[in-house]
Amino acid sequence: MGEVDRFARGAELAAVLGNWTQGPGPLYLRLTDALATAAGEGAVQPGERLPSERELARSLAVSRATVVSAYSELRDRGVLERRQGSGTRVAARGRPPRDDGRVRGGQGTVIFQRLIDGPGPLISLASAAEDGAPEVADALRDLARHDISGLLADPGYHPRGLPELRQAIAAYYTSLGVPTGAEEVLVTAGAHQALVLVSDVYLRNPSTVVVEAPSWPPCLDIFRAANARLVPVPLDDEGIEARQLSAVLAEHSPGLLYVMPTYHNPAGILMSADRRRRVAELAARHGVAILEDNAYADCGFGDGAEPPPPLAAYTSAAAETITVGSLKAVWGGLRIGWVRGPAGIIERCARRKALADLGSPVIEQALVARLVPRLGEIAERRSALRRERCSLLEGLLREQLPDWSWRSPDGGSSLWVALPEGSADVFAQLALRHGVEVIPGSTMDPTGAHDGYLRVPFMRPPEELAELVRRLAAAWTELRRYGPRDYGPLRPVI
């Protein structure tokens, strides 16, 4: 244990520590406590080597003296030990603090922990989720007005999903140019569970998944949890780069090809019809199943250009295509998603769904069955606000951070911003002490690349966007002028 240097890059340990800067006392003691907690919880294991003082200081955007003092304090507590010629390692027996129940492990850790903790004193960019659409309340009132005795007439266990919702989802895909029957639909607890179920069906040790780079960390974590090897392929303005995809499929014979063709998260790219056709051809040629994640499919800007049909419309029986969708554009709080695919695959996913939870809540499914036929209408109504907020954030960034750059997205909920220089991992640590939690691009690439990028969501109130950019600009100016330095406790968001 500990011979593999997981934390050779200080950024990896920084991700484990999370928002360690909050709390009273000198910064070195806050770092001391965070490292002790990580050791006590097993997020860092006995015998594992920690980064050098200089490397961790760089990654955390603090002075080297802060890390030196923290390491010294931890050695005094018996948490760390220095081995001659082997650096600083976690001691076999320390005095761990009380377990605080925090989520540990995986590149999606920060995102999930923020959902658990709530925003606190930060403006957190860990989530790009939006407020619920008013149509949810309309549908709820409509459901309440109707007699639900029919729903109560059976035990309420529907592992495949409520029949009326499955029929509504099938009709939705048929309207998009993908003829679908209810037997080809499985209702899940959000898109996240859908990805877990599909991974369990397709991925067997050893497995390889081809993914886009960048991609979204919690999705990558799902594949890692299935012990899959991730092989990244970059994006261009039309989606996943076709020439490199062809070479990767030929070389690796993967179990899955995972793509987000409609308003990619985080890049906001809409894959062109020609690229979808090419991806389908390549998948068929190499016998690779496509897993298309269309959770953001209804997050367009309403500019008159309809997205091409889902990838499933371009594929043949030679390449299975599994489509994942959700109500993200309506309200994530509904926690309803689905899988659309060949009936045999849906059957296998359904068996796993039954083992997991016996089926999603029936009342929520009845509510969603009233919303699915209105998805187009809801997306169109919300598109103007989406376009307006994106434009506002772009204007604020151009004014206060003119050397930052990005490609204006085709849709989605965020900007994929390139820093002009330096590491986004380091900047993320400095931004924390200015009251902003950002997700650096290195967490969105299986190789740790895209270190110079940040995902900045724009579906926030105008006053919060203005304060967000003000704080980011202050952090960037300080980093450029003075480099890292120590800070006191964060001030609450006003």
Distance CA 373, CA 176 (A): 12
Q: Note whether 364 and 390 are same-domain residues.
A: no
Higher pLDDT among residues 339 and 87, named by residue: 339
- Residue bearing tokens 């709530």: 118
Q: Could you tell me if residue 489 is inside a domain?
A: no
Higher pLDDT among residues 205 and 431, named by residue: 431
Distance CA 39, CA 34 (A): 9
What are the CA-CA distances from residue 29 to residues 46, 102, 491 (Å)?
21, 19, 19
Q: Note whether 241 and 364 are same-domain residues.
A: yes
Query: pLDDT tens-digit profile of 390-407?
Result: 999 999 999 999 999 999
Q: Note whether 115 and 193 are same-domain residues.
A: no
pLDDT at residue number 149 = 83
Query: pLDDT tens-digit profile of 248-289?
Result: 999 999 999 999 999 999 999 999 999 999 999 999 999 999
pLDDT at residue number 494 = 25
Q: Is 282 left (phi over 0), alpha (psi -120 to 50) or beta?
A: alpha
Higher pLDDT among residues 482 and 192, named by residue: 192
Distance CA 152, CA 363 (A): 10
Rg (CA), the chain: 24
**pLDDT tier at 35 (50, 70, 90 boundaries)?**
very high
286: Cβ contacts below 8 Å, ≥ 6 apart: 249, 250, 253
Distance CA 442, CA 24 (A): 30
Q: Could you tell me if residue 95 is inside a domain?
A: no
Q: Note whether 223 and 306 are same-domain residues.
A: yes
pLDDT at residue number 25 = 78
What are the CA-CA distances from residue 329 to residues 46, 82, 345, 372, 383 (Å)?
44, 51, 26, 11, 10
Query: pLDDT tens-digit profile of 158-177?
Result: 999 999 999 999 999 999 99
pLDDT at residue number 378 = 93
Spatial contact of 171 and 378, defined as CB atoms under 8 Å apart:
no
Q: Could you tell me if residue 99 is inside a domain?
A: no
Distance CA 304, CA 287 (A): 35
Q: Looking at residues 367-383, what average pLDDT do you find?
A: 94
Q: Looking at residues 326-331, what average pLDDT do you find?
A: 91
Q: Could you tell me if residue 5 is inside a domain?
A: no
Q: Which of 376, 409, 429 is the last residue of a domain?
A: 376
Q: Note whether 342 and 463 are same-domain residues.
A: no
Q: Note whether 167 and 241 are same-domain residues.
A: yes
> For residue 336, which of 355, 356, 359 has the smallest C-alpha distance?
359
pLDDT at residue number 83 = 74
Q: Looking at residues 2-16, what average pLDDT do you find?
A: 72
CATH assignment of the domain containing 457: 3.90.1150.10
3-state secondary structure of 454: strand
pLDDT at residue number 403 = 97
Computed over every residue of the chain, the mean pLDDT equals 88
Q: Note whether 442 and 321 are same-domain residues.
A: no
- For residue 324, pLDDT beyond 50: yes
Q: Could you tell me if residue 488 is inside a domain?
A: no
Q: Note whether 223 and 358 are same-domain residues.
A: yes
Q: Looking at residues 419-441, what average pLDDT do you find?
A: 90
Q: Note whether 208 and 333 are same-domain residues.
A: yes
Query: pLDDT tens-digit profile of 141-161?
Result: 999 888 788 888 888 899 999
**pLDDT tier at 64 (50, 70, 90 boundaries)?**
confident
Distance CA 134, CA 142 (A): 13
CATH assignment of the domain containing 272: 3.40.640.10
| Per-residue three-class SS string for 350-380 | HHHHHHHHCCCCHHHHHHHHHHHHHHHHHHH
pLDDT at residue number 206 = 85
Q: Which of 376, 398, 428 is the last residue of a domain?
A: 376
pLDDT at residue number 61 = 82
Q: Looking at residues 422-441, what average pLDDT do you find?
A: 89
Enter the tokens of residue 26.
């000198």
pLDDT at residue number 416 = 97
Q: Could you tell me if residue 102 is inside a domain?
A: no
Q: Which of 337, 361, 376 is the last residue of a domain?
A: 376
- For residue 436, pLDDT beyond 80: yes
Q: The domain containing residue 401 runs over which residues? A: 109-131+382-482
Q: Could you tell me if residue 448 is inside a domain?
A: yes
Q: Looking at residues 323-332, what average pLDDT do you find?
A: 92
Distance CA 159, CA 361 (A): 10
CATH assignment of the domain containing 26: 1.10.10.10
pLDDT at residue number 3 = 42
**pLDDT tier at 199 (50, 70, 90 boundaries)?**
very high
Q: Note whether 220 and 188 are same-domain residues.
A: yes
Q: Note whether 304 and 368 are same-domain residues.
A: yes
Between 271-275, 283-287, 303-307, 430-434, the lowest mean confidence (pLDDT) is in: 303-307
- pLDDT > 70 in the chain, percent: 90
H-type alpha helices, 42-133: 53-60, 64-77, 109-117
Between 18-27, 111-120, 318-327, 394-403, the lowest mean confidence (pLDDT) is in: 111-120
Q: Is 291 left (phi over 0), alpha (psi -120 to 50) or beta?
A: beta
Number of domains observed in the structure of the chain:
3
H-type alpha helices, 320-361: 343-357
Q: Could you tell me if residue 366 is inside a domain?
A: yes
What are the CA-CA distances from residue 212 to residues 116, 178, 216, 256, 424 (Å)?
28, 24, 9, 12, 20
Q: Are strands 289-293 and 321-326 parallel, antiparallel or unpaired?
A: parallel
Q: Where are any strands of DSSP class E within 253-411?
A: 256-259, 289-293, 321-326, 337-340, 405-406
Q: Note whether 477 and 428 are same-domain residues.
A: yes
